């Protein structure tokens, strides 16, 4: 009996609470992210959430603001906490704006796992685990690749100003290019016309720029269009975070150099699996961060990924 008691306590369950574990079909998990499921990137993450719910046999609700809106996202987290779910999944693009709401969930005894953004802040908020990539290191890898190709000046296209994860990607990019290299951060919205115009203007003002990094597909696709219209596509190094059919087709054509894949399908899928097992059995991965990226997709391997992108998995 002493050994059994120790095992139960060590996994976060007591004998009393073990008798109160809900049946799997009664488990309800709420997912709140900063990206709408209609966004091409987040639709893939949402597909992972849906598959996780189906595979685990649990109830899952996906909620997100229609635009990048931290006060609205905090309200959605507060509403989720008030509904008393068995588990909560959140992205954390701005810990200052969302911290009180996330701590309220933790204080209410709701197990929380973060996904996508928040690798540098989740532990401070009491979140159990994080599923995603470390953003600074991903940007660093992009910069190092471009530095190897001889790039000494670059542009970092940031389409979600205030998203700390995207800021870290640009910072890592600057570091990866190396000492003495210059990086202009283009702070734009997700409006494709604004992005195209900003990229075009940047190259008009600085025609010697050697590399462009777009920190997401909403900025990446119009960046490709701007460079194509300006005649720079294929003549400068181009890297883009995340995948889309357009980005993959451009890779296959050899017009851009790489895309950084963080496997957002897994970022949606794995937290549902982890929370279900934690709620029922007190089980969690040993490492606090479960890495899903970064992985580099290049013209040499892009074609293998196209079919999965069309299916909403990559």
Statement: residue 102 has pLDDT above 80: yes
Statement: residue 16 has pLDDT above 60: no
CA dihedral 95, 101, 102, 104 (to 10 degrees): 140
List the beta strands (DSSP E) in 81-162: 87-90, 112-116, 129-132, 153-158
Q: What is the pTM of this model?
A: 0.84
- Lowest-confidence region among 8-17, 35-44, 163-172, 190-199: 8-17
Statement: residue 2 has pLDDT above 50: no
Statement: residue 7 has pLDDT above 50: no
User: Are the C-beta atoms of 135 and 169 separated by less than 8 Å?
Assistant: yes
Stretch 275-286: mean pLDDT, rounded? 97
Statement: residue 11 has pLDDT above 80: no
User: Which pLDDT value is given to residue 161?
Assistant: 82
Domain regions of the chain by residue span: 2-133+264-283, 135-261+298-310
Give me the CATH topology for the region 135-261+298-310: Rossmann fold (3.40.50)
Question: Which residues have C-beta within 8 Å of that of residue 281, sequence separation ≥ 6?
Answer: 11, 13
Stretch 276-293: mean pLDDT, rounded? 97
Question: Which residues have C-beta within 8 Å of that of residue 165, sequence separation ≥ 6?
Answer: 93, 116, 117, 118, 119, 135
CA dist., res. 241 & res. 136, Å (int): 12
DSSP 2-16: HHHHHHHHHTT--HH
CB-hemisphere CA count at 13 Å for 214?
A: 30
Stretch 173-188: mean pLDDT, rounded? 95
pLDDT band at 176 (very low <50, low <70, confident <90, very high): very high
pLDDT band at 3 (very low <50, low <70, confident <90, very high): very low
Statement: residue 12 has pLDDT above 80: no
User: Which pLDDT value is given to residue 304?
Assistant: 84
Give me the CATH topology for the region 2-133+264-283: Rossmann fold (3.40.50)
User: Which pLDDT value is given to residue 21?
Assistant: 83
Chain-wide mean pLDDT for the chain? 92
**Tens of pLDDT, residues 38-94:** 788 899 999 999 999 999 999 999 999 998 899 999 999 999 999 999 999 999 999
- Domain 2-133+264-283 matches domain 135-261+298-310 at the CATH topology level: yes
């Amino acid at each position: 009996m002493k050994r059994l008691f120790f095992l139960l306590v060590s996994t976060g369950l007591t004998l009393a609470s073990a008798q109160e574990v809900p049946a799997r079909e009664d488990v309800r998990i709420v997912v709140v992210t900063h990206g709408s499921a209609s966004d091409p990137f987040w639709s893939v993450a949402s597909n992972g959430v849906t598959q996780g719910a189906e595979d685990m046999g649990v109830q899952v609700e996906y909620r997100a603001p229609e635009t990048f809106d931290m006060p609205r996202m905090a309200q959605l987290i507060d509403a989720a906490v008030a509904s008393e779910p068995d588990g909560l999944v959140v992205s954390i693009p701005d810990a200052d704006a969302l911290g009180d709401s996330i701590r309220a969930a933790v204080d209410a005894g709701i197990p929380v796992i973060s996904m996508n953004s928040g690798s540098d802040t989740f532990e401070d908020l009491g979140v159990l685990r994080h599923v995603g990539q470390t953003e600074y290191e991903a940007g660093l890898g992009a910069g190092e690749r471009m530095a190897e190709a001889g790039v000494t000046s670059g542009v970092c296209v940031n389409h979600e100003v205030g998203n700390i994860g995207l800021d870290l990607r640009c910072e890592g990019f600057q570091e990866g290019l190396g000492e003495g290299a210059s990086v202009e951060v283009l702070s734009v919205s997700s409006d494709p016309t604004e992005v195209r115009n900003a990229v075009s203007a940047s190259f008009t003002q600085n025609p010697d720029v050697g590399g462009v990094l777009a920190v997401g597909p909403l900025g990446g696709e119009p960046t490709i269009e701007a460079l194509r219209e300006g005649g720079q596509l294929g003549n400068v190094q181009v890297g883009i975070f995340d995948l889309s059919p357009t980005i993959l087709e451009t890779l296959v054509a050899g017009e851009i150099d790489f895309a950084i894949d963080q496997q957002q399908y897994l970022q949606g899928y794995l937290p549902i699996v982890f929370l279900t097992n934690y709620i029922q059995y007190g089980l969690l991965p040993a490492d606090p961060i479960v890495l899903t990226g970064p992985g580099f997709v290049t013209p040499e391997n892009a074609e293998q990924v196209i079919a999965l992108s069309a299916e909403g998995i990559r």
